[in-house]
Amino acid sequence: MDSSLERRYFTVFKDESKLDINYVPSRLPHRDHQLQLLSQFFRFALERPGQMAQRVLITGKIGTGKTVLSQRFGLNLEREARERGINLHYVHVNCRECGGSAFLILQQAILNFYPNFPRRGYSAEELPGMLMQVLDEQNAHLILALDELDALIRVAGSDPLYVLTRIHEGRLGAPQRLSLICILREAQCLENLDPSTKSTLQRNIISLEEYSTPQLRDILNDRVNLAFKGGAVSEQTLEFIAESAASEEGDARYAIELLWRAGKYADASGSSEVLPEHVRRAAVSLYPAIRREAISYLGLHKKLFLLGVVRRFSQTGGAFLSMGDAEEAYAVACEEYGEKRREYTQLWKYVKELSALDIIKTQLSGTGYRGKTTLISLPKVPASDLEQELIKVLNTGGK
Amino acid sequence: MAIEDVLSSKGRVKILKILAEIGELNTSRIARRAGLNYATTIRHLQALEKAGLVRHKNFGRIRIFRFNEGNPRARIVKRLIDLWE
């Protein structure tokens, strides 16, 4: 290869995908005990499949390893079941990605077995029965992990969970095929459920504590070995990232994202090593309040709406934006991306959803405004940074 | 049903090709892929099922068709399509 090209494409990374949010490492430092606990809860699935069903709740703050713990466990259990000739599937569904829709969540579970299952033509109420029929037919057992369960509870209330936790009651004598792993940040969210569902779910709880600095260092160390070239990340840099993440409530996801971004800054500056300065620059660009992941989950028009809003904030420098102004700004963003704009009712829904995700804040206008309007504010992130992030996601196929 | 009756219809052959390629599919998606209307698709599927070449499963209101792997004729027809395509 031409030496100038080599220089241009020099990178500190060996395998960037190991820092991806969806990567499930084979080893989970400082979560061995919890992994063991999950194995205990689901021991029956390997020893006496069909004899019982289990419901486990995993709680913990953001970046405490809830998702990866469940996924690692699922992969391990599937492998072990395969070796024993048991048809056991682990399906991980992010309820927030499904917009809290019980229909889409259960549909994903069925699509795991029938990838060509029709996407429409039936109701949400029919789906639990269909899922059990599919499982019976394939003599399969399913562990359904409902990640970000709060989204489902918020949108659909108790009913879907009630049905899922009681699904075997109407099938006396038939094998119990469906177990649940419910993942959420705070068990408090379960207060919105009816008492019987709540008590069913609260029987087995695994609470994950925030990671400490040394624990974060171990996690980062593993990822550095997998993702970076030898010697690209020094002990000092690692320590620096671990400490930064520890001050963000022990958020490992933040730590890994910071590590990845710092690597990108090192690449951009042509450095063969990730230096603390790269970490500092990465930290400025990375707001723990709103993540790439949270933005990429948004639908196209929600992204466009948010883009319009943040642009208007950048232009005006004001603290609040009325619904009317936001609508105009959104129309401009739609025009830019060649999309047909959605109507007001839909935008109103977007505002409520973005507000529920804590990306924007809303309040009713008081004096100084004619009539009544909703005022939008952006309390957590500088508008220009969010704008850049949105443009990046929109331009890299995040449409 | 005689073989010439089964295979003389372009629609039926199209449906068999789709099922050979995709595996399992519901009626309306078979119809869409084959470029046939719903009623015609159902008629062809019923004929193919009567000939033992395809079978179906119901999930509530959803009816999913697939090759009837238990039938030697169906297996041979599928193999013929696989080889041809």
Domains, chain A, in order of start with CATH, read 32-208 (3.40.50.300), 211-285 (1.10.8.60), 292-395 (1.10.10.10)
What ipTM is given for this predicted complex? 0.78
Torsion, CA A266, CA A270, CA A271, CA A277, rounded to 10: -40
Tens of pLDDT along A224-262? 999 999 999 998 889 889 988 888 788 999 999 999 999
pLDDT confidence band for A2 (50 / 70 / 90): very low
What digits encode the pLDDT tens for the residues A175-222? 999 999 999 998 888 888 888 888 888 889 999 999 999 999 999 999
Q: Provide, rounded to the nearest whole percent, the portion of chain A with pLDDT above 90.
A: 53
Nearest Cβ partner of B60 from A114, A116, A129? A129
Q: Report how far residue A330's alpha carbon sits from residue A301's, in angstroms, rounded to the nearest whole number.
A: 9
pLDDT at A359: 81
Average pLDDT, chain B: 93
pLDDT at A233: 92
pLDDT for A1 = 45
Question: Helix crossing, B38-50 with B27-34: angle to 10°?
Answer: 110
Model pLDDT, residue A86: 95
Q: What is the pLDDT of residues A310-339, one digit of tens each?
A: 899 888 877 788 898 999 999 999 999 999
pLDDT of residue A8: 57
Pick from A213, A204, A230, A253: nearest CA to A39: A204
What is d(CA A255, CA A216) in angstroms, rounded to the nearest whole number? 8
Report residue A292's pLDDT band, with 50, 70 and 90 as the boundaries.
Answer: low
Domains of chain B: 3-84 (1.10.10.10)
A118, A124, A125, A127 alpha-carbon torsion, rounded to 10° = 40
Write down the residue that tokens 């698709």 correspond to. B41
pLDDT confidence of residue A7: 52
Output the furthest CA–CA distance in chain A (Å, rounded).
71
What residues pair up with A228 in beta bridges, in sequence order? A13
User: Which residues 134-153 in chain A show a CB within 8 A of chain B?
Assistant: 134, 137
> Which residues, at least 6 apart from A260, have a Cβ–Cβ distance to it below 8 Å?
A16, A19, A227
Contact (CB, 8 A) for A23 and A35 = no
Give the mean model confidence (pLDDT) for residues A372-399. Answer: 78
Q: Does B8 reach chain A within 8 Å, measured CB to CB? A: no
Check pLDDT > 90 for residue A355. Answer: no
Please say if the pLDDT value at position A12 is more than 50. yes
Counting one residue from chain A and one from chain B, the pairs whose CB atoms sit within 8 A come to 34
3-class secondary-structure state, position A322 = strand
pLDDT attached to residue A301: 93
A285 — pLDDT class (breaks 50, 70, 90): confident
Which of B24, B28, B60 lies closest to A114 in CB terms?
B24
Average pLDDT score over residue span B34-44: 95
Which parts of A84-193 fold into alpha helices (H)? 102-113, 127-137, 149-156, 159-165
Hey, what long-range contacts does B76-82 have (CB within 8 A, 24 or more apart)?
B77/B16, B77/B53, B78/B16, B78/B19, B78/B20, B81/B16, B81/B17, B81/B20, B82/B20
Quick check: A130 and B61 CB within 8 A? no
For residue A19, give every residue at least 6 positions away whose Cβ sits within 8 Å of its Cβ, in sequence order, or none: A223, A227, A256, A257, A259, A260, A263
Residue A358: predicted pLDDT: 73
Mean pLDDT of chain A: 88
Instruction: Count CB-CB contacts under 10 A for residue B85.
Output: 8
- Are the CB atoms for B31 and B38 separated by under 8 Å? yes
